[in-house]
Amino acid sequence: MGFVELMDNRNFTPTNILCSATTKRKILNMPEFKDPLVFDFSRTGKTPSPLGLTLDALRSQPDNQVTILDKSFAIVKVTENDVTVESDKLISKQWDRSYVTLNVDFAVLYKEARVVIQI
């Protein structure tokens, strides 16, 4: 239902399914994902993906929720500036110190580009 809601009603293309590790194990243990003619994990090393979507496990995702989203529109990575490298030298102790800084955050671009399903 979430797949159809995202594609047909909201005009986004689902790319990822986010769930907890427990839910991911349940999905991958379904008989549909055990068919060696369709999925060949032992040869390719790729885990099966439902409907061609990437199945990602998140620690913060509750066991009773699955999120289907279009990663191009649901969230965007925002980098404040490039990598900043600072260094100084403490002359009395002959120590060199360096600091590397990168400010990154994520922002929701379109709330409609994701569907949260209670299972």
Measured from the Cβ of residue 71, the count of other Cβ atoms closer than 10 Å reads 17
**CATH classification of the domain holding 56:** 3.30.2320
Tokens standing for residue 88: 């100084």
**What is the per-residue pLDDT across 56-109, written as a single tens digit (0 to 9) for each?**
898 888 999 999 899 888 888 888 778 888 888 767 777 787 888 888 888 888
Q: What is the pLDDT of residue 2?
A: 67
Residue type, 8: D
Instruction: Provide the domain limits for residue 112.
Output: 2-118
Q: What is the pLDDT of residue 11?
A: 83
Look at the chain and report how many structural domains it folds into.
1
Q: What is the pLDDT of residue 28?
A: 83
Q: How many angstroms separate the CA atoms of 77 and 73, rounded?
A: 11
**What is the per-residue pLDDT across 15-70, written as a single tens digit (0 to 9) for each?**
989 999 999 888 888 887 777 777 766 677 777 777 778 888 988 889 999 998 99
Q: How many angstroms separate the CA atoms of 85 and 99, rounded?
A: 6
Record the pTM. 0.67
Tell me 63's DSSP state.
T
Q: How many angstroms separate the CA atoms of 41 and 28, rounded?
A: 11
